[in-house]
Each structure stands twice: as C-alpha cells, then as structure tokens.
Amino acid sequence: MSQSARPTRVKIVELGPRDGLQNEKQLVSVAAKVALIEALAEAGCDAIEAGSFVSARWVPQMADTEEVLRRLHRHAGVSYLALAPTAAQVAKAVDAGLDAVAVFPAATETFSRKNLNASIDEALRRSADVARVALGAGLRVRGYVSCAIHCPFEGWVDPKIAARLAAALRDMGCYEVSLCDTTGAGTADRARAMVEEAAMILPMESIAVHFHDTYGQALANTAACLDLGVATIDSAVAGLGGCPFAPGAAGNLATEDLLYMLDGLGIETGIDINKLAAAGRAIMRELGRASTSRVATVLAGRQTGAPGPTEPAAAATL
C-alpha cells in the first residue's frame, strides 16, 4: 500500500499512570504517581490517562485516584482523563477538574462480564449514561473497545463487531474511539482489518489504536495502522501495563519505542524522548525493576557511557 496516507504528526495518549500501573501488585504511592504524571507532561505529553474511578475492590492500585488528582499540578495544554465506569463517578471527575472521562465496553460477552460484570448491551447502556452526564457537565468522553481483535476467553473477534461498538460509542458523543488489542495477540493484517472496518463507519481522525505487546507485535501493528492514516496512538511509558482480566496479557506498547519509530518515519509528536525516558526510569525505580522498553534500555546505557545508535562500538559483532 502507498505510504501517502501516513500522518505527518501523531497524537500519543499516554496510558502509563492508569493502564500502565493498574496491574501492578505493589501499590505505588500518591507522590510517585503525581511525579510520574507531571514528568510526562513536562516531556511534552498532551493527553494523559491520569487514573480511574473503578472500584478499589477490583483495582486497588487506582483507589487513590481522587487524591492523585487533587495533588496534581496541571500543565497548560494538557488533557487529563480518567476512566468512569458509571454515571455516578462523573461527579468525581468534575470535582477533580478533569477534561474528559473514558468508557470501555468490550467486544465479547465473556470479557464484558468478567471486566464490567455486565453484558455488552448493559455495558453500552451504562456507557451511554456516563456520556450523557459527562457531556452535560462539560466534559469530553473518550471511548475504548476492549478485545477489538482477540479475547482471552472467546478467541478472535470479527472486526465488524468491534466496528459496531465503535459506532455506538460515536453515537453517544465520544470524540474519539480507541480500538484495543487487549491481549496483544494481534498481528499487522488483523490490526489493519480492524481499522479498515471501523473506518467504514467512523472518520479516520476519530480512530485511535491501543496495542499490548504480549507477542512483540505492537510496533508492527502500529506501523500497519499508520499507513491507513491513523494519527492517534495509545502507549505507556516503559511498556507498563497488563490487564487483570486478560490472563497473560503483557504491557502496553512502550512510548519510548513508539517515539523512536515515529522519529525514524519523520512523524512529529511534540514529545522529548529523553525526558520521557527519564520519567520511565523514575517510575521503574519505584517499582524495583527494569523497563521493558528496548529504546529506554539503550538510552539508559548511554547515560552510563555505553555506545548509542550514532556511536559505533570499537568492534563489530554479527
């Protein structure tokens, strides 16, 4: 396919503080979460998923979202959003001064019941209630379609099903719909098929993609979607992530790796990769382990004097 559809600039929605941290067993302090969000904003991230109002019983890592948002120093030009599973949670988002909330129905019945304790139809009704209340309160609403390619319980998902859910979210008033490969099982052709089907119903500028890297395919899937004209990509600093309701799912596409690829393609993002990587190193120190981002690993090596991509080593190896 011709590369003429590729965007010249991409908006990255940084998921690290929410989708990245939610599956961590070690509880991260409020101070560390605030520091991460502020460092991401300083790096140039202008859309940050800052938390979630889901039940603390099911996702204890997000129990302190309201406190995190209270302590946060807001950066001009940055949009902060959080997940709001029910209309009752919208008031918390308003009180916290958020710009947007997100709803997240799933493309299969089994995942919907395990993740939301609701059927697909029930989840869509809840999402519509959230959207109605949020829009009435002056908030924007972002939609996610979980398991848009593959479900850990039901297997491969027909792209038409994901597209129908995307259309339902658009009809609720969502300004953008993110198509999520929740298990990270997708490959480039399946990713393309997902986007092509959705683009028959939604304008390309309202479609985002969200890839987990379980099988190491997230960058390839992203590149395939860029060639279709997708210009909004979800990712998480240091490759943080995973889903508590998708057994075996690995972290999100690492923002550092995404930035490196986009720079190589001549696509602008407005994000400083070195500042972004520093934010990743800080949160990984808090978690006590190394980043899963390959680019972050290289940049960390350069901090200690190891040769980088423009600094050849003294001896070559094959």
Cα distance between residue 50 and residue 7, in whole Å: 26
DSSP structural state of residue 86: S
- Count the alpha carbons within 13 Å of 45 in the hemisphere toward its beta carbon: 35
DSSP string, 276-317: HHHHHHHHHHHHTS--S-HHHHHHHHHHTT---TTS--SS--
Distance of CA 82 to the CA centre of its chain: 11
CA distances 96 to 28, 64, 100, 220, 317, Å, are: 20, 12, 11, 37, 54
Structural tokens at position 172: 């609720």
Q: Is the Cβ–Cβ distance between 111 and 156 less than 8 Å? A: no
Q: Is the Cβ–Cβ distance between 82 and 18 less than 8 Å? A: yes
Whose tokens are 């859910």? That residue is 165
DSSP structural state of residue 236: B
Structural tokens at position 238: 């240091």
Q: Which amino acid is at 177?
A: V
Distance of CA 36 to the CA centre of its chain: 15
**Is 174 labeled as catalytic in the residue annotation?**
no
Cα separation of the two ends of the chain: 32
DSSP structural state of residue 202: S
Helix or strand or coil: residue 14?
strand
Which candidate in 147, 151, 225, 243 is catalytic? 243
Cα-trace Rg, the chain:
19
Structural tokens at position 311: 């600094």
Residues with a catalytic annotation lie at 243
